[in-house]
Amino acid sequence: MRQEIPYLHLVRVVACVMVVCLHTLPTSAFAVEGWDGYFKSSVIWLTSPCVPLFLMITGVLLLPYQGENLIAFYKKRLSRIIFPLLFWGIVYSVLPYLLGMENVEEVKYNILFLPLTYPTEIGGILWYLYILIGIYLVIPFLNPAVFDSKSSILIYITIWFLSSFVSIFKSHIPLVLGMTPFCDFDLLLYFSGYLGFLFLGKYLHTCENFIGLGKKMMQMKMLAVYFIVSCFAVLLQKTFPSNLVAFLSFTSIIVSACMFLFLKNCSLGEEGCLYTLCKRISPLTFGIYLSHMVVFHLLSIHLYIVSTSIVMQILVMLMTFVGAWGLIVLVSKLPFSKYVIGT
């Protein structure tokens, strides 16, 4: 049985809260001017490590592949993804119809194409499950020898990180020079995929004394870089909106690594109330991720008013998280819960 890694409970919960916070903001955040626009943009960037943190946890737990029977590995991992994907895919296909946003034919179309893509804009959160399926399929074929050397992992991470700059150079340097970008193909595009976050998580997990800093100093420096890079991204969002606001952007990689290291070095104490709370919520975070948009849209019908009220936005975010948490706690009591929330 895999040994428990206490700090990962905190990483999961923080990533889950970030996801809910990110999705409960109005989608027009970048179009809003003034302080309210900066607030929304700041929240978007401060919560951008959400999905990368989940992927980094996967890297910590599953890399390197331990030689488990291939069929057993796929059966164990993919069943936790495919069944919840089908269940919530149907939910998010039907929900727009119940909200009066789509007709019956569109519902049928969305359900029919579930094996290929996620349904509707509301169900957009399911994109992450399709990413996970691909990652689980490839993990057994990664060379375990690579993980015997930290320098080998670091080489991969370095190339992966550098490749994240390519899309910005390709799309904006020609414009600065008065030229028209002539090609939509990004050099190293397929190298700079989500798999890199697994390697990054594994590397940061195994580095006990990263860059020679103590825990407190590490936390302070990582938090400082996290906020500085986030502010940098907010200030440049008008110039590079499509390139910086992406999980695979260089800014997202930096803030994700900083947040991971910050949380890794938090001393919660295994007997403390916060650690106990995180340990209880941690197994439910996947279910909270899957269900929070249902709760959010149901709340929106009665409570949510698109306005510049920051207090209202924070209130809705908290209610969405607590509501989704409560829903998944109830679902987890049912005998078929593993097919719904993957636990």
What is the chain's pLDDT, residue by residue, as a tens digit (343 residues)? 567 888 999 999 999 999 999 888 754 444 445 556 666 677 777 888 999 999 999 999 999 888 778 899 999 899 999 999 999 999 998 888 887 777 888 888 888 887 777 777 778 889 999 999 999 999 998 878 778 788 888 988 998 888 887 766 665 555 555 555 555 555 555 556 899 999 999 999 988 765 556 677 778 888 888 888 888 777 766 555 555 557 888 888 999 999 999 999 887 766 778 888 999 999 999 999 999 999 998 887 766 555 556 777 788 889 999 999 999 999 999 988 988 998 7
H helices of 207-284, in order, are: 215-236, 241-244, 250-264, 273-281
d(CA 320, CA 299): 8
Residue 328, pLDDT score: 96
Nearest-CA neighbor of 213 among 259, 261, 256? 261
Cα-based angle 322, 287, 113 (whole degrees, multiple of 5): 125
Distance CA 42, CA 64 (A): 36
Rounded to whole angstroms, the Cα distance separating 261 from 259 reads: 5
Find the largest Cα–Cα distance for the chain: 63
187 neighbors 163 (Cβ within 8 angstroms): yes
Q: Nearest CA to 206 among 60, 17, 47, 56?
A: 60
* Residue 341, token pair as written in the block: 């929330």
Cα–Cα distance measured from residue 20 to residue 209, given in angstroms and rounded to the nearest whole number: 32
CA atoms of 252 and 246, how far apart (whole Å): 7
CA pair distance 256, 250, nearest whole angstrom: 10
Q: What are phi and psi of 296, to 5 degrees?
A: -60, -45
Q: What is the CA radius of gyration of the chain?
A: 21
pLDDT at residue number 36? 60
| Phi-psi region at 34: left, alpha or beta (left = phi > 0; alpha = psi -120 to 50) | left
pLDDT of residue 29: 42
Given this model, what pLDDT does residue 84 score? Answer: 94
Task: State the burial class of residue 64 (Cβ atoms within 10 Å of its Cβ: 0-12, 13-18, 19+).
Answer: middle
Question: Measured in Å, how far apart are the chain's first and last C-alpha atoms?
Answer: 16
Looking at residue 148, what is its pLDDT? 79
Query: One-letter amino acid identity for 120?
Result: T
pLDDT of residue 28: 42
| CA-wise closest residue to 71 among 131, 140, 134 | 140
- Predicted local confidence at residue 69, as pLDDT: 87
pLDDT digits (tens, 9 = 90+) for 173-214: 555 555 555 555 555 555 568 999 999 999 999 887 655 566
pLDDT of residue 27: 47
32-58 confidence digits (pLDDT tens): 455 566 666 777 778 889 999 999 999
